[in-house]
Amino acid sequence: MSTNLPISSNTTGLSGPVAAEEVFDRVVGAVREWQETVAVEATKQRAIAAEEARWLAAIEADREILLTYLDRSFDERAESFRRLFEELDRAMSGDTTHVADVLGAITALAMKSPFQDLKDVDTVTANLHDPNYGW
Protein backbone atom coordinates (compact mmCIF):
# COMPACT_ATOMS: atom_id res chain seq x y z
CA MET A 1 0.00 0.00 0.00
CA SER A 2 1.31 3.44 -0.86
CA THR A 3 0.49 6.88 0.39
CA ASN A 4 1.06 10.45 -0.66
CA LEU A 5 2.16 11.52 2.77
CA PRO A 6 5.43 13.43 2.38
CA ILE A 7 7.36 11.22 4.70
CA SER A 8 11.04 11.37 4.36
CA SER A 9 13.53 8.60 4.92
CA ASN A 10 14.71 8.10 8.47
CA THR A 11 17.59 6.57 10.26
CA THR A 12 16.21 3.07 9.89
CA GLY A 13 16.67 3.29 6.21
CA LEU A 14 13.00 2.64 5.42
CA SER A 15 11.65 4.67 2.57
CA GLY A 16 8.77 7.08 3.26
CA PRO A 17 5.98 5.16 1.56
CA VAL A 18 7.08 1.90 3.17
CA ALA A 19 7.15 3.48 6.62
CA ALA A 20 3.76 5.09 6.07
CA GLU A 21 2.27 1.78 5.01
CA GLU A 22 3.68 0.10 8.08
CA VAL A 23 2.33 2.85 10.30
CA PHE A 24 -1.04 2.58 8.65
CA ASP A 25 -1.06 -1.16 9.24
CA ARG A 26 -0.12 -0.64 12.85
CA VAL A 27 -2.85 1.89 13.36
CA VAL A 28 -5.43 -0.37 11.75
CA GLY A 29 -4.18 -3.27 13.84
CA ALA A 30 -4.38 -1.19 16.99
CA VAL A 31 -7.93 -0.10 16.24
CA ARG A 32 -8.96 -3.68 15.51
CA GLU A 33 -7.31 -4.92 18.70
CA TRP A 34 -9.00 -2.17 20.66
CA GLN A 35 -12.41 -3.09 19.25
CA GLU A 36 -11.91 -6.75 20.04
CA THR A 37 -10.61 -6.10 23.54
CA VAL A 38 -13.43 -3.74 24.40
CA ALA A 39 -15.97 -6.33 23.24
CA VAL A 40 -14.24 -9.13 25.15
CA GLU A 41 -13.99 -7.07 28.33
CA ALA A 42 -17.64 -6.05 28.09
CA THR A 43 -18.61 -9.71 27.76
CA LYS A 44 -16.45 -10.63 30.74
CA GLN A 45 -17.99 -7.88 32.83
CA ARG A 46 -21.50 -9.03 31.97
CA ALA A 47 -20.55 -12.61 32.91
CA ILE A 48 -19.08 -11.42 36.21
CA ALA A 49 -22.22 -9.44 37.00
CA ALA A 50 -24.41 -12.45 36.22
CA GLU A 51 -22.29 -14.75 38.37
CA GLU A 52 -22.35 -12.26 41.22
CA ALA A 53 -26.12 -12.00 40.99
CA ARG A 54 -26.48 -15.79 41.11
CA TRP A 55 -24.21 -16.12 44.12
CA LEU A 56 -25.82 -13.28 46.04
CA ALA A 57 -29.29 -14.61 45.30
CA ALA A 58 -28.29 -18.10 46.46
CA ILE A 59 -26.65 -16.84 49.66
CA GLU A 60 -29.54 -14.55 50.48
CA ALA A 61 -32.12 -17.25 49.77
CA ASP A 62 -30.29 -19.73 52.00
CA ARG A 63 -29.93 -17.14 54.70
CA GLU A 64 -33.59 -16.23 54.55
CA ILE A 65 -34.68 -19.85 54.82
CA LEU A 66 -32.32 -20.72 57.66
CA LEU A 67 -33.04 -17.61 59.69
CA THR A 68 -36.78 -17.92 59.19
CA TYR A 69 -36.56 -21.51 60.33
CA LEU A 70 -34.48 -20.67 63.38
CA ASP A 71 -36.59 -17.67 64.36
CA ARG A 72 -39.83 -19.59 64.02
CA SER A 73 -38.34 -22.51 65.89
CA PHE A 74 -37.09 -20.35 68.76
CA ASP A 75 -40.43 -18.53 68.98
CA GLU A 76 -42.36 -21.80 69.13
CA ARG A 77 -39.96 -23.24 71.65
CA ALA A 78 -40.18 -20.16 73.88
CA GLU A 79 -43.94 -20.60 73.96
CA SER A 80 -43.55 -24.34 74.62
CA PHE A 81 -41.17 -23.70 77.51
CA ARG A 82 -43.55 -21.14 78.97
CA ARG A 83 -46.43 -23.60 78.86
CA LEU A 84 -44.32 -26.47 80.18
CA PHE A 85 -43.08 -24.47 83.16
CA GLU A 86 -46.65 -23.45 83.95
CA GLU A 87 -47.60 -27.10 83.76
CA LEU A 88 -44.65 -28.02 85.96
CA ASP A 89 -45.80 -25.56 88.62
CA ARG A 90 -49.25 -27.12 88.58
CA ALA A 91 -47.77 -30.63 88.65
CA MET A 92 -45.58 -29.84 91.66
CA SER A 93 -48.60 -30.01 93.90
CA GLY A 94 -49.87 -33.16 92.20
CA ASP A 95 -48.59 -36.63 91.58
CA THR A 96 -44.98 -37.53 90.89
CA THR A 97 -45.68 -39.12 87.53
CA HIS A 98 -46.88 -35.84 86.11
CA VAL A 99 -43.85 -33.99 87.47
CA ALA A 100 -41.57 -36.58 85.87
CA ASP A 101 -43.42 -36.33 82.54
CA VAL A 102 -43.32 -32.55 82.40
CA LEU A 103 -39.66 -32.44 83.46
CA GLY A 104 -38.87 -35.03 80.81
CA ALA A 105 -40.59 -32.88 78.20
CA ILE A 106 -38.67 -29.76 79.32
CA THR A 107 -35.26 -31.41 79.27
CA ALA A 108 -35.92 -33.22 75.97
CA LEU A 109 -36.96 -29.96 74.32
CA ALA A 110 -33.99 -28.08 75.79
CA MET A 111 -31.48 -30.69 74.70
CA LYS A 112 -32.77 -30.71 71.13
CA SER A 113 -31.28 -27.64 69.55
CA PRO A 114 -32.91 -26.07 66.50
CA PHE A 115 -29.44 -26.01 64.96
CA GLN A 116 -29.57 -29.80 64.80
CA ASP A 117 -32.09 -29.53 61.99
CA LEU A 118 -29.96 -27.29 59.84
CA LYS A 119 -28.35 -30.14 57.98
CA ASP A 120 -29.27 -28.81 54.60
CA VAL A 121 -31.42 -26.12 53.15
CA ASP A 122 -33.75 -28.57 51.40
CA THR A 123 -34.73 -30.22 54.67
CA VAL A 124 -35.24 -26.90 56.35
CA THR A 125 -37.39 -25.69 53.47
CA ALA A 126 -39.48 -28.86 53.61
CA ASN A 127 -39.98 -28.43 57.36
CA LEU A 128 -40.99 -24.82 56.90
CA HIS A 129 -43.70 -25.87 54.50
CA ASP A 130 -44.93 -28.76 56.63
CA PRO A 131 -47.92 -27.55 58.66
CA ASN A 132 -47.61 -30.58 60.94
CA TYR A 133 -43.91 -30.15 61.63
CA GLY A 134 -43.09 -30.38 65.33
CA TRP A 135 -40.86 -27.53 66.44
Partner 1 sequence: MPLPLVVAAGGLAVAAVSGVAAGVDGVRRSRDASGRVSRAKKHVVSAASRAESAWAEADRHVRAYGDLQLHVQVDTLGAWASWLEENERKVRDFEGHLVDGVAIPPFDLPELKLQVIEAERMLSGGVSAGIAGVLARQAALTGVHSLASAGTGTAISGLSGAAAKSATLAWLGGGSVAAGGSGVAVGTIMLHGIAVAPALLTFGLGLNVQGHRAQTRAREFEKESRIEVARLKSQRLLIERLEVRVEELELVLHGLDERASEALDELQQVEFDPAGHVELFMRVALLIEGLREILATRVVDEAGVLTPESEQVVIIHRTSTASTTEAPT
Beta carbons within 8 Å of 124's beta carbon, 6+ residues apart? 65, 66, 69, 117, 118
| Spatial distance between the Cα atoms of 118 and 125, rounded to a whole number of angstroms | 10
Q: Which residue type, as a one-letter code, is found at position 25?
A: D
99 lines the binding site for partner 1 (CB under 8 A): yes
126 lines the binding site for partner 1 (CB under 8 A): no
Q: With beta carbons less than 8 A apart as the criterion, state whether 127 and 133 touch.
A: yes
Note the residues at the interface with partner 1 (CB under 8 A). Answer: 3-12, 14, 19-20, 22-24, 26-27, 30-31, 33-34, 37-38, 41-42, 44-45, 48-49, 51-52, 54-56, 58-60, 62-63, 66-67, 70-71, 74, 77-78, 81, 85, 88-89, 92, 95-97, 99-100, 103, 106-107, 110-111, 113-116, 118-119
